[in-house]
Amino acid sequence: MRTEQTPDDLPGRAFYKLMTSVVVPRPIAWVSTTSESGVDNLAPHSFFTISCTEPPIVQFTSVGRKDSLRNAEATGEFVVNLASESLQDQVNASATDYPSHVSEFDALDIGREASTTVRPPRVADSPVAVECALHSTLRLGDSTVVFGRVLNVAVDENVLKDDGLPDVTLLRPMARLGRNEWSALGEVRGIDRIPYRP
């Protein structure tokens, strides 16, 4: 037996809660932006993925209109920082609804460093920063999908393997689950794709 629920069965936030409990785990984009007046903003977004490979484009979704969305629209730039396990408390604290004139970097004493290609800073202690120019936005109901053309990916060389790619066991990415649940990296298995053989 299964329970079956349509959006009509669960009005309001209840269906959203169901969706975020079944689409799991979700990687967390820790999005830094700078407002037009120069306030550096930082907030986690778990509605996040790669949208296109060539050109490289990533996306995050703002549920409602928030500072990250407003700043990305106003300035055309944002950075996705990787939310690693050691930064979890700061990632969570940066989701607090600080007013626009308060920088989460300052309020939470989060170290920043200059990005290479865009104005919003990178999180200094995050091992990966994906610097983006706003590509476009897409309004969908109460949400806005923000697409960013990737201009530069800055990776801490201490997390790189010999093949030049990051070692996920060193990145230690956190993921978002349902309710107030988060998860850390579990067992990592290498599994090769199987070519079709008629």
Ligand X SMILES: Cc1cc2nc3c(=O)[nH]c(=O)nc-3n(C[C@H](O)[C@H](O)[C@H](O)COP(=O)(O)O)c2cc1C
Residues lying near ligand X in the complex (CB under 6 A) are found at 28, 41, 43-47, 61-63, 66-68, 92, 95, 97, 176
Residue found by looking up tokens 């850390």 in the block: 184
Question: CA torsion, points 153, 154, 157, 163, in degrees to nearest 10?
Answer: 10
Q: Which residues pair with 175 in a beta bridge?
A: 27, 183
Query: What gap in Å lies between CA 90 and CA 57, rounded to an integer?
Result: 26
- Half-sphere exposure of residue 134, counting CA atoms within 13 Å on the CB side? 22
Name which of 186 and 198 has its Cβ closer to ligand X: 186
Name which of 44 and 127 has its Cβ closer to ligand X: 44
Residue 61 CB, nearest approach to ligand X (Å): 5
Query: What gap in Å lies between CA 128 and CA 84, rounded to an integer?
Result: 9
CB atoms within 10 A of CB 18: 16
Name which of 100 and 165 has its Cβ closer to ligand X: 100
Residue 91 CB, nearest approach to ligand X (Å): 6
Residue 46 CB, nearest approach to ligand X (Å): 4
Residue 68 CB, nearest approach to ligand X (Å): 3
Name which of 95 and 124 has its Cβ closer to ligand X: 95
